[in-house]
Amino acid sequence: MKKLLFVLIILGGAGAGGWYWYKQQPSAVKVNRFRTETIAKGDVVQDVTATGTIAPIKEVEVGTQVNGPILHLYVDYNSVVTNGQVIAEIDPAVYKAASIKAKAQLKSNEASVENIQVKLDLAEKTLKRNRELRKKEMVAESVLDDSAAEVDSLKAQLKVAQATVEQSRANADEADTNLGYCTIRAPVNGVVISRDVDEGQTVVSSMSAQKLFTIAEDLKKIQVEASVPEADVGGIRVNQLVTFTVDAYRQTFTGRVKQIRLASTTTSNVVTYPVIIEAENPEEKLFPGMTANISIKVAEAKDATLIPAGALRFTPLGFVSEIKGRKIWILGEDGIPQDIKVRVGITDSTKYELKECDIDLVGKEAIVGMQAATAAASKETKNPFMPNMPRRNRRSGGGGPGGPR
């Protein structure tokens, strides 16, 4: 029995030593330890992705410059309106009274002008008569002077009265304008996308006009307002083709870059620039406010040698490379990883365009990672010398002693 135990110990030690020696040998690196991808020819497209918001190309806010309760609303959300169409009415009572008052004041001032004009005509006739009489020395010089002074005074009064008439006419025009503002009309052809008041609500316009409606002029053509990071905005040009999707539909829409705005925004230390994209919307499927996931093609390479992106990030454990800069590891004919210096171009995040390399890599196996452990290898190794635990006696009837037999 002791001899058997001694033999087993010797065999176990020899096996452990052999396994340790096997793991330490470079030639023991097997092909199936690595995950590889074959380097091949193909096309690669580099694009810039971002998110944006769909908005009308022209959006008009309709407000009011007068105060008062809303008497009638003639349109609602999604109503199609035309330029000049009445869309709301504010109670005009106060402004109608102001208009009547201003017009009455205008008539009164016009009558004053006429009255002064009559007096002036009479004074001029009296002055002319006194001049004739003075030549005949039938009136005193003072009478002639009084007549001239009266004419000059009435001329001055006439100018003041005429200016008052002009002021009254302006007041009347202003009152009529304010009265006209009580009737709200659509300034453009379009669709009502927002209504901010209800009938009976009192609107008060103070320093700025209070908004009543928002009208999108034409939803058959829309724009996407996207925010592009500064690292990507350099590759974007006006009139570039853009594709985008929205969560509402399972289809891809197309547009063109219309404008790259210089007004940057910094959020969490990330600088972004607004990029405006115009797109056709003939079926009006795209609604204002939808989130668009855009993709802008900034570069393309056709029939290029493509290197997996993972190959540029992977370095086999235990191997040291003397290459500085970008490199990949490929499997040699003996199954040993070999480092290769490369210069890459554009990328689509999954593969890179190979720009320069000393050897032809097409058909080579690029190492991108390690093989995952198999289910059997991942289990805890069982010591064959450990005794097995006794199993409980299980019978079809279940139960232990005293149970059904």
Q: Within a domain: residue 383?
A: no
| Residue 257 within a domain | yes
> Are 361 and 343 contacting, i.e. CB atoms less than 8 angstroms apart?
no
Do 211 and 196 contact (CB within 8 A), yes or no?
yes
> Is 36 part of a structural domain of the chain?
yes
Please compute the mean of the pLDDT values over residues 194-219 and round it to a whole number. 88
Domain annotation covers residue 363? yes
Establish if 150 belongs to a structural domain: yes
Q: Is 226 exposed, middle or buried (0-12, 13-18, 19+ CB in 10 A)?
A: buried
**Which CATH number belongs to the domain containing residue 64 in this structure?**
2.40.50.100
Pick the last residue of a domain from 257, 273, 300: 300
Residue type present at position 321: S
Residue 86 placed within a domain = yes
- What are the tokens at 299? 């570069």
Q: Residue 178's closest CA among 96, 75, 259? A: 96
pLDDT at 208: 74
Amino acid present at 37: E
97 in the same domain as 156: yes
Q: How many domains does the chain have?
A: 4
> What ranges in 26-92 are assigned the alpha helix state H?
none
**Residue 226 shares a structural domain with residue 296:** yes
Evaluated on CA atoms 225, 231, 232, 238, the torsion sign reads positive
Give the pair of three-digit tokens for residue 187: 């300034």
Whether 7 maps to a domain, the answer reads: no
Residue from 385, 247, 288, 347 nearest 46 by CA: 347
pLDDT for position 75: 94
Give the model confidence (pLDDT) of 23-79 as tens digits: 454 444 444 588 899 999 999 988 899 999 999 999 999 999 899 999 999 999 999
212 and 66 in a single domain? The answer is yes
Tell me the pLDDT tens digit for each residue of 199-208.
999 998 776 7
Domain holding 164, by residue range, is 92-181
* Cβ-contact 330, 361 below 8 angstroms: yes
In this structure, are 167 and 229 located in the same domain?
A: no
Based on the fold, state whether residues 81 and 192 are members of the same structural domain.
yes
Q: Residue 30 has what pLDDT?
A: 46
pLDDT tens sequence across 73-121: 999 999 999 999 999 999 999 999 999 999 999 999 999 999 999 999 9
65 and 212 assigned to the same domain: yes
Over residues 289-302, the pLDDT tens digits come to 999 999 998 888 99
* 209 and 257 in a common domain: no
Q: What is the pLDDT of residue 294?
A: 95
User: Within this chain, do residues 121 and 268 fall inside the same structural domain, yes or no?
Assistant: no
Both 78 and 200 in one domain: the answer is yes
pLDDT band at 17 (very low <50, low <70, confident <90, very high): low
- Looking at the fold, whether 221 and 293 belong to one and the same domain comes out as yes
* pLDDT the model gives residue 379: 46
Strands 86-90 and 190-195 come out as unpaired
Q: pTM (2 decimals)?
A: 0.63
